[in-house]
Amino acid sequence: MKRFFALFIGTFFATTLVALPAASGAVATPATTIQISPADAGEIANGYQHLTTDFYKKVDPQTVLATVRSELLAAMRTAGVPHATLPDLKSSDAGGTNVRGIDREVEVAAAQSRSKFTVHQLSYIALDAMMRSVDDRYTVFLTPKEFAALNQDLDGGDFGGTGIVIQIDDQTKYILVENVVPDGPADKAGVQQDDLITAIDGKSTKGLTVQEASSKLRGKEGTSVSLTLLRDGTATPSPITIVRAKIHQLSVYEKMLPEKIGYVALTVFGRDTGAELNSALTRLQQQGARAIVLDLRDNGGGYLEAAVAVSSKFISSGPIVSVESRASNITTLEADDTAIDPLPLVVLVNGYTASASEITSGAIQDSGVGTIMGTKTFGKGVVQTIYPMPDGSAVKITTARYLTPRNRDINHLGISPDVIVVENKRPQYGIPAKDGQLERAIQYLNEKLAKLNQENGV
């Protein structure tokens, strides 16, 4: 696997092991006949080094060793090794001694529970325990499956489909086209936003769930699906045939709201989010957008670089965020000179707006280029670095905290909106009639546009 170091500021993944009290006192243990593999030993050494060197606060090696011992004992006893015993570990300043102690602990555990765990599984438990020892919810060990899932969440997956984002139309109970992926199969076939799909392959969609309809729209690349559409209350002359193709899951969705207000929703701050946002804003500008709503509600974050790229679309110059590492070294990241022409801007946020979303919200608020609206954000002001392991696992370690352009530390505090608007019951984001916060944002922007027109004598 290609190694990389990704600055990550999104939500956290954590595995869970049952923790039981460890036996107290030093206990003699039998000699082992099992040895840890060089690969597992290497990953333990890497994990230990990154934790003790890169974690944004000073790490106590003795706490790390004690937690490893405790977690290994807990796992063994839970798995049915009731009299499991492991030697006490004492930290040392001598190079490599602490890591060799962890390796030895894994070997002893493997010898005592031959039929319960492999050495590799116990190495994972040790790595997980090391990350837990610093009592930081964002510093975690990721198994290969968890790391792959994290990457897919951030960078999107590929699937065979039509390129339509759908939901249920409340009035008719048919399937509503909420968005069409640009240049996707449906877009090329002429499907438009707000079309109603009344039938898929001749079968009515009335009463289908979104999941049921989605399963009918997706399929093997190169296969065809027929859609019967209702557009502006009138049925299209004949069903539209779409040939499914590979669709890459987007992180940015846009549409034009009434009175030329552009709406852009970000689901995550992934590797392609900056480029996707640039394309979305370009399309909205070409359609004559007079103002923008940037929806960051329920966006748990992602990559630091993506937060800078997104913020730079609205902030023409100056600082976006400052990152302070363990040694109090501060790096300030500036706007990258890719901003669109200024337009009235509202950023929608809520209690699940976190991390990279808060960097963007804080930068926009501090720079004064937009209005933050909604409810207080989550309050995650720390940055993680991901260190992949050769076998596909990884450790994610909090390596710094960040500050907004005005040097605000929002960790555990969140960002307070400029305009507080509480979410309505059962909202449907992106549909003004079902989304009270969006409706208020539109009203706010229309008032601002009217005022600007008056000031300019228009």
- Evaluate whether 390 touches 438 at the Cβ level (below 8 Å): no
Token couple for 386: 């991901």
Reference 67, options 99, 22, 114, 24; nearest CA is 22
Question: Quick check: is 355 catalytic?
Answer: yes
Question: Quick check: is 90 catalytic?
Answer: no
**What is the bridge-based pairing of β-strands 394-403 and 319-325?**
antiparallel
Q: Does residue 102 come out as left (phi exceeding 0), alpha (psi in the -120 to 50 range) or beta?
A: alpha
CA atoms within 13 A on the CB side of 301: 25
Q: Which of 70, 133, 355, 361 is catalytic?
A: 355
Question: Quick check: is 366 catalytic?
Answer: yes
Rounded to an integer, what distance in angstroms lies between the CA atom of residue 234 and that of residue 422? 37
Q: Which of 255, 313, 380, 396 is catalytic?
A: 380
Rounded to an integer, what distance in angstroms lies between the CA atom of residue 355 and that of residue 13? 14
Token couple for 437: 């916060």
Q: Which of 361, 366, 393, 435 is catalytic?
A: 366
**Catalytic residue numbers?**
355, 366, 380
